[in-house]
Structure 1
Amino acid sequence: MIYPKISSLSKRLRNPNVYFLFACVGIFCSTLAYAQGDALNETSVISARAEHSLIMDISKTETKLIAVGERGHIVIQQSGQKKWSQVQVPVRVTLTSTFFIDDQNGWAVGHDGVVLSTTDGGQQWQKLLDGDTVNKMMIGYAEQLVENILNEIAVANEEEIDELNERLENFQYFVDDSYAFGDEGASRPFLDVWFNNKNEGFIVGAYGLILRTTDAGKSWTPWTEKLNNMDGFHLNAINQIGDDLYIAAEAGTLFHSTDKGQTWNSLESPYEGSFFGIVGHQDQTLIAFGLRGNAFISHNKGNQWLKIETGVDSSLYGGHKLNAEHFVLVGASGVILHINNQGEVIKSETSKFKLPLSSVVFNDATNGKDSTLVISGLAGIQSISQENKG
């Protein structure tokens, strides 16, 4: 059955003893945050300490870094400058991820089903979607799936009928849960966003949410049936590696697409714990990472995996490819792991405040001096100098 596990899933994820770090610091979504007041319709508050608050994700373009975080905070740092400047946003919910297709066009997603877009490099943002609209969309989608199956059953032969009845039962659970989420209100967060160009993209989130757009986010199509995710596991991250797309999800779930998300296949997982991200290089090297220091490397697009001996038991939440031979992972307790393309930890360090980290990007030197890792998390944004080698 598709969604009998949703109720138990909800209870499990709202139990503070599960994913204890999330319950404490709000990284990702295991303790789902509900909007306080009218946070979906109130603008973010400009704060002198926005860059020092919880920052969930950082994107890099040719001329700037753009970071998003709690209370709708979005801050921007222009290339060659140290100062971060906050811009106003039409919501004040926590923003979890951002993605820019070029220097001007970008998107951000977050709690309560929020999707924002910008066409001027992040100076101005528009709300495209929120959880109330998502709930209505998913109810209509679930009901349409049931109607489609009933039409198939009406003309099915005896060999087909058992399988179709099983699918019908699954989709009826889907309808029930879609209505239940609607009764809860705008509660389900989006966790990541990826675009192929200015128009085509995906957003992924809690309880198996995945939506596709072909018009820059003006309209969205549920893509749930395209994934083999009958238990509604959280879709934590989506990333393009080479020409392919990958989704890292809850309960050891990994998905792979070779056609920019039109179709998806499940990858055989190397463990049963949650994956929070996946990074890699176009030569087929992948690194998937998640709970309690677990990380795995593949040299054949996820067909086989080897465990990386990370030497830590802190959960890993963010990752970045520095170059073809060097990857960086960050996570709880401020851990920062440098890993080569053979899956060996070549350097392990801890951030200044030893607080959870959620994202990392490499900021190339523009003045011939040392470059920096820019990391974000519970203590805001920090920069760590990296020695240039060649």
Structure 2
Amino acid sequence: MCSFKTLAPLILAMLLALWQTIAHASGYVDVLDLPAKPSALAVRSALLDVANAGQRLIAVGQRGHILYSDDAGQQWQQANVPVSSDLNAVYFPSPEQGWAVGNDGVILHSSDAGVTWKKQLDGREIGALLVKHYAALANAEPTNEQWPLLVADGQRLVEEGADKPLLDVWFADDKVGYVVGVFNLILRTEDGGQSWTPFQDRTDNPQNFHLNAITSTGDALYIVGEQGLVLKWDDSHQRFAAVNTPYQGSYFGVVGKPGEVVVFGLRGNVLRSTDGGLSWKPFDTGLQVSVTAATVDAQGHYRLFTQAGHMLVDQANTARLQVMPQQNPSPVAGAALARDGSLIVVGSRGARALLKE
């Protein structure tokens, strides 16, 4: 008599064949191969991040939408994008060169200030990239037990397919940069994205927590993630070293300026360090709602935003963040400072400009 374990692979194969037949008959195209559709409503659809490209603003979001504005967010145009995957983050180290990342392990690059984009990598390739890289290290160092484990991680990605999101991107210049994502997924490039090197072995993250954000404060590079994970680039050891903080919940972002760094996340938790992460002091937000985005305004004040649409502003020489009144607040996923000093925020209702104070 056949057991379930014997029948299960056969059933799975039959279901897969049926799905492929249905997909073929319906003209299914993978979102990684389907260009984003132009839409007059894109500016009011869900957007997940916004960044400066010189004087231009670039916003990214669901269904591969990328928008750009040259008038401080008053009007937006839609860019040409080769994928329809949801895009989670965007970063421009210079006015012309920029990168965007998103679901399905997609990495996009623009060399014309965000007007057109090309795909550099996607999740169908990342697993094989990890396997090749760590298999070579395993062959070179057969006694190192770390390499086979990382080869296995790469093989798992190959088997599971292209569904692993990249959550953030940061570049030091037009050549050197990082992308980070779920389950400690981190890649580094030194040639502007022409090739990518896995960096999983360069993080103090043994439990493979998600890497939610990566940002430079001007004098240090930080990564934040799940369960209180904060990592700081250690140049002497060429790795991201763990930094202890008093909060063990998830951090969603990091912002800062030379000499200090602020991390923020679940249930209104916001902490600041002025000694390179050796010690931390909490900000009093007075809220229990998650903080999801931040930027630094023209006066050097931190502006933080919540998933409920609150805007918080730090007060000089105090440990309190003041909640600023907002008309028709809505969830905020990203924020940037426009050239006229106004704040541009993006979220579930698209992009909007907050009036200058």
- Contact preservation (8 Å) 1:329, 1:336: yes
| Over 6 Å off, 4+ runs | none
- 1:296: which partner in 2? 271
CA distance in 2, matches of 1:251, 1:66: 30
- Contact preservation (8 Å) 2:72, 2:339: no
In structure 2, do the counterparts of structure 1 residues 232 and 119 end up closer, same or farther at CA, with 3 Å as the change threshold?
A: same
- 2:295: which partner in 1? 320
Quick one: which amino acid aligns to residue 270 of structure 1?
P
**Residues 354-373 of structure 1 correspond to what in structure 2 (within 5 A)?**
354-365=329-340, 371-373=341-343
CA distance in 2, matches of 1:208, 1:84: 34
- 2:11: which partner in 1? none
In structure 2, do the counterparts of structure 1 residues 264 and 353 end up closer, same or farther at CA, with 3 Å as the change threshold?
A: same
Name the count of aligned residue pairs: 330
**Residues 37-56 of structure 1 correspond to what in structure 2 (within 5 A)?**
37-56=29-48
CA distance in 2, matches of 1:148, 1:355: 53
CA distance in 2, matches of 1:346, 1:364: 25
CA distance in 1, matches of 2:334, 2:212: 13
1:98-125 CA-partner distances (Å, limit 9, x unpaired): 1111111111111101001111111111
Quick one: which amino acid aligns to residue 177 of structure 1?
D
Identity across aligned pairs (percent)?
33
**SS of 1:45 mapped into structure 2:** coil
Post-superposition offset of 1:353: 4.2
1:139-193 CA-partner distances (Å, limit 9, x unpaired): 223433443442xx3xxxxxxxxxx5xxx2x544433333222212101111111
CA distance in 2, matches of 1:384, 1:80: 11
The reply to whether residue 140 of structure 1 matches residue 116 of structure 2 is no
In structure 2, do the counterparts of structure 1 residues 325 and 84 end up closer, same or farther at CA, with 3 Å as the change threshold?
A: closer
- Contact preservation (8 Å) 2:202, 2:239: yes
**Residues 185-196 of structure 1 correspond to what in structure 2 (within 5 A)?**
185-196=161-172
Post-superposition offset of 1:334: 1.1
CA distance in 1, matches of 2:240, 2:301: 28
Instruction: Structure 1: give runs of 5+ residues left out of the alignment.
Output: 1-35, 154-163, 366-370
CA distance in 2, matches of 1:350, 1:92: 36
In structure 2, do the counterparts of structure 1 residues 357 and 220 end up closer, same or farther at CA, with 3 Å as the change threshold?
A: same
- 1:280: which partner in 2? 256
**SS of 1:334 mapped into structure 2:** coil
- 1:131: which partner in 2? 123
The reply to whether residue 250 of structure 1 matches residue 242 of structure 2 is no
- 1:375: which partner in 2? 345
- 1:89: which partner in 2? 81
TM-score w.r.t. length of structure 2: 0.87
In structure 2, do the counterparts of structure 1 residues 210 and 80 end up closer, same or farther at CA, with 3 Å as the change threshold?
A: closer
- Contact preservation (8 Å) 1:285, 1:341: no
The reply to whether residue 100 of structure 1 matches residue 92 of structure 2 is yes
- 2:205: which partner in 1? 229
Post-superposition offset of 1:268: 1.1
CA distance in 1, matches of 2:188, 2:317: 35
1:244-273 CA-partner distances (Å, limit 9, x unpaired): 111111110111125499432211122111
CA distance in 2, matches of 1:80, 1:188: 33
1:54-92 CA-partner distances (Å, limit 9, x unpaired): 111111133210000000000011035721111120000
TM-score w.r.t. length of structure 1: 0.80
CA distance in 1, matches of 2:349, 2:245: 33
1:328-380 CA-partner distances (Å, limit 9, x unpaired): 11121112111135453453136544432111112242xxxxx3211111111
The reply to whether residue 263 of structure 1 matches residue 234 of structure 2 is no
CA distance in 1, matches of 2:149, 2:57: 43
Moved more, 335-344 or 53-62: 335-344
In structure 2, do the counterparts of structure 1 residues 204 and 131 end up closer, same or farther at CA, with 3 Å as the change threshold?
A: same
- Please point out which of 187, 195, 203 is paired with 1:211: 187
- Contact preservation (8 Å) 1:333, 1:350: no
Instruction: Structure 2: give runs of 5+ residues left out of the alignment.
Output: 1-27
- 1:156: which partner in 2? none
**SS of 1:178 mapped into structure 2:** helix
- Contact preservation (8 Å) 2:73, 2:344: no
In structure 2, do the counterparts of structure 1 residues 42 and 352 end up closer, same or farther at CA, with 3 Å as the change threshold?
A: farther
CA distance in 2, matches of 1:43, 1:240: 32
Quick one: which amino acid aligns to residue 234 of structure 1?
H
Quick one: which amino acid aligns to residue 187 of structure 2?
L
- Contact preservation (8 Å) 1:297, 1:343: no
- Please point out which of 37, 42, 60 is paired with 1:68: 60
- 2:70: which partner in 1? 78
- Please point out which of 310, 313, 323 is paired with 1:348: 323
Quick one: which amino acid aligns to residue 57 of structure 2?
L
- 2:214: which partner in 1? 238
In structure 2, do the counterparts of structure 1 residues 342 and 132 end up closer, same or farther at CA, with 3 Å as the change threshold?
A: farther
